[in-house]
Amino acid sequence: MAFVQGQPGQGGPREPKKLEAGGEEWCDSGLGSLSEGQLVQLQEDGGLGVPEGVPAGCPLTSDPRAPQKSLEEEEEEGRLDSALGGDEEVGDLVEGVGGVHLQSQVGPEAWLRHVLGFVTEDGDTALHLAVIHEHEAFLDSILQYTHGTDYLDIQNDLGQTALHIAVILGASSFVGKLVSAGAGLGVQEKGGHTALHLACREGWRDCAEQLLAPLTVQRPCQRNRFQAQLDCTNYDGYIPLHVAILRKDLGMVSLLISAGSDLNKPELSCGRSPLHLAVESQSPEVVECLLRAGADTEARMYVGYTPMYSAVHRPDQKIPQLLREFGSEEPEWDSEESVDSNSEEEYDDIVINCGH
C-alpha cells in the first residue's frame, strides 16, 4: 500500500512528497493541482494583492450552469483532485481576504462569508487550500478570523483537516500556527489517524514537537487537551507511540515518552505492549529506551506471552540480554514441545497498514 514518504527536516513548508505509482493517495486534496505562480503574492503594504486581469467582485465559485470539462480534459491538465479552477478562482479567494484587510467597496463581512464558505468538490475549504499550496499569508489572514472556531476542524472527503495536511507535508510552521489557533488535535481522518499519528508515521519530529509543545514545555493549563492525543488509538488499534516504535524511530519514541505517553498501553488487536512491539521490530535501541523509561518487562499479550518470550524466538540476541539486565524472567514455555505447540499462536503483524 503506497503512502507519502519523506525525511524529517527543519523549519517550514517542504516540497510535496511523491506518491508511488498506482498507490492510494493520502493527500489527494488538490496537491499539485496549481503552481505557485497561480497564487497571488503578498503586497508590500501587508494586504493580499489582487491578481491582474481579475475584475473586482468576481464570484468565488464557477457558474454551475457552465459546461463542465470532461475527465480526459482534467487529466490533461495534470490535476489531482482539487475542484479549484485556475488563476481566476484562486485570485478571487485571495482577493476576498485582501478585501477584508484593504476595506474595499465590498463589505468585509460579505467577503469573509465568500472566502469561508468556499468548498471544492473534494470538500477542501479555503483553509485546506492555503495549506496545500503553502500560502502562508493567506493562511494567516484566514486564521485571524477563525481562531478558536469549528471552521479549523472541517474535514474534506478524506476526513482530513488542514492540520492533517500540514503534518503530511511536514510544514511545521503551519502546524504551529494551526495548533496555536486552536485546531483540534484529536480529530481522526479516514484511517483513524490523528495529526500526531501522521507525524509519527511520516517521521516528522519537528511537527510532533509543535503538536506536543505544551507538554514538553510544561504548561499545565493546556495539558488535558494535548495529553489526550497521546492515548488516542487509530483504527488499527495503535496509539502514536506504537506507530513510532514500529518505525524504529528512536528520536520520536523519546519525544513521546518525555511528553508522557503510556509506556505499557497495549495495542488492541492482540494486547502487545510497546515493549512487545519493540522486540518484534528487532530494534535494540528502542527496547533499551523503553526499559530505561520503566516499561514493564512482564507485560503479557492476550495469549500470555511476555516480551522475553518474543525475544528468544527472534534472531537478535542483544534483545534477550537487555531484557535479562532489566530483570525479565525466562519464558515459561522453554521446551521444544511447548514452542512447537504454541508457535501458531505467535503474533508478528508488526507492519503498519499505511493505506487505511
Per-residue pLDDT of the chain (356 residues), as tens digits, is: 333 444 444 444 444 333 333 344 444 444 333 334 333 333 333 344 333 333 344 333 334 344 444 434 444 443 334 434 444 455 556 555 444 443 445 456 787 888 999 999 999 999 999 999 999 999 999 999 999 999 999 999 999 999 999 999 999 999 999 999 999 999 999 999 999 999 999 999 999 999 998 755 444 555 677 889 999 999 999 999 999 999 999 999 999 999 999 999 999 999 999 999 999 999 999 999 999 999 999 999 999 999 999 999 999 999 999 999 999 988 876 544 444 444 444 445 554 444 44
Contacts of residue 287, Cβ cutoff 8 Å, sequence gap at least 6: 275, 278, 279, 319, 322, 323
pLDDT digits (tens, 9 = 90+) for 282-312: 999 999 999 999 999 999 999 999 999 999 9
Cell of 140: 494567516
Contacts of residue 26, Cβ cutoff 8 Å, sequence gap at least 6: 3, 4, 19, 158, 168, 354, 355
pLDDT at 225: 76
User: CA nearest 320: which of 264, 350, 282?
Assistant: 282
User: CA nearest 243: which of 355, 351, 356?
Assistant: 351
The pTM (predicted TM-score) of the whole model is 0.69
Q: How far apart are CA 43 and CA 138, in angstroms?
A: 12
pLDDT digits (tens, 9 = 90+) for 133-159: 999 999 999 999 999 999 999 999 999
For residue 180, give the amino acid letter: S
Q: Are 300 and 271 in contact (CB under 8 A)?
A: yes
CA angle 272, 274, 279 (to 5 degrees): 85
Q: How far apart are CA 271 and CA 302, in angstroms?
A: 5
Q: What share of the chain is helix, strand, coil (3-state, %, to 5)?
A: 45, 0, 55
Find the length of the chain: 356
User: CA nearest 129: which of 253, 242, 31?
Assistant: 31
Q: Are 189 and 235 in contact (CB under 8 A)?
A: no
User: CA nearest 40: which of 81, 118, 82, 99?
Assistant: 99
- Per domain, the residue ranges of the chain are 121-236, 263-331
pLDDT at 338: 45
pLDDT at 51: 33
pLDDT at 242: 98
pLDDT at 112: 85
For residue 175, give the amino acid letter: V
Q: What is the DSSP letter of 314?
A: S
Contacts of residue 290, Cβ cutoff 8 Å, sequence gap at least 6: 245, 253, 257, 263, 274, 275, 278
CA dihedral 269, 270, 271, 276 (to 10 degrees): -110
CATH classification for the domain delimited by 121-236, as one of 1.25.40.20, 3.30.70.20, 1.10.260.40, 1.10.10.10: 1.25.40.20
Cell of 311: 525475544
Q: How far apart are CA 97 and CA 154, in angstroms?
A: 19
CATH classification for the domain delimited by 263-331, as one of 3.40.50.970, 3.20.20.70, 1.25.40.20, 1.20.1540.10: 1.25.40.20
Cell of 292: 530505561
- Crossing angle for the helix pair 284-293 and 250-259, to the nearest 10 degrees: 10
> CA neighbours within 13 Å on the CB side: how many for 191?
21
Domains 121-236 and 263-331 share a fold: yes
> What residue has cell string 474595499?
104
Contacts of residue 288, Cβ cutoff 8 Å, sequence gap at least 6: 322
Q: 3-state class of 194 per DSSP?
A: coil
**177 CB neighbour count, 10 Å cutoff:** 20
For residue 167, give the amino acid letter: V
